[in-house]
Amino acid sequence: MVTAKEDKRVRESTGQDPELLRRLLRAKDRMDAASHEEWPVARLARVSHVSEAHFARSFKDAFGVPPHRYLLTRRIERATALLRETDLPIIDIAFQTGWKSLGTFGRTFRDVTNESPSEFRARQRAAMHALEWVPACFLSAAHRPDLTIAVSEKRRREAEAINAPTQTGSPEHTG
């Protein structure tokens, strides 16, 4: 049971009602338990017993990322663990972690980790002997994908960088 003091502390630190936070955590826990499933905002809002718009806004306020990005992070974390720890074919890993096609999985995986699933697996296997003495909790934290921006935003920025005009020289030396 939450005391009045704890309730006030939670409300001040997040600006949200503790009951709403419990509902959001319920939805987050469902995503964690079944990250391979589809979790549209409508379904998450039903789990939390709030409207879709309120859920999306509140989830981002509470956890710092939108629900879709949180789910994507969980899927990539699970895929990296399977690539590192199993010999499953990459297509099986893609389907087990919630992607509908190998192409989408591969493109998203590369966007997030900067390497393909097969490159990731090869690099991890080559480095495994050096990590035998590192605690698993440190490895998990170090391998967590960094999704500070949306994958689509990352792709847009990369495209802009490619399409940006390049400077060939200073204006004084052109003639």
pLDDT at 1: 47
- pTM across the whole model: 0.65
Regions of the chain where pLDDT drops below 70: 1-15, 129-131, 146-148, 165-175
Task: Name residue, tokens 């981002």.
Answer: 60
pLDDT at 71: 94
Judge: domain 69-160, CATH 1.10.20: no
Phi, psi of 73 (to 5 degrees): -60, -45
What is 87-116 written as a DSSP string? ---HHHHHHHTT-S-HHHHHHHHHHHHSS-
Nearest-angstrom CA–CA distance, 138 and 125 = 18
Nearest-angstrom CA–CA distance, 107 and 103 = 6
What tokens does 133 get? 């003495």
- Would you list the domain boundaries of the chain? 9-64, 69-160
Nearest-angstrom CA–CA distance, 95 and 33 = 16
pLDDT at 94: 96
Q: In this structure, are residues 19 and 51 in contact, taking their beta carbons and an 8 Å threshold?
A: no
Query: What residues contact residue 63 under an 8 Å CB cut-off, 6+ apart?
Result: 24, 28, 70
pLDDT at 43: 95
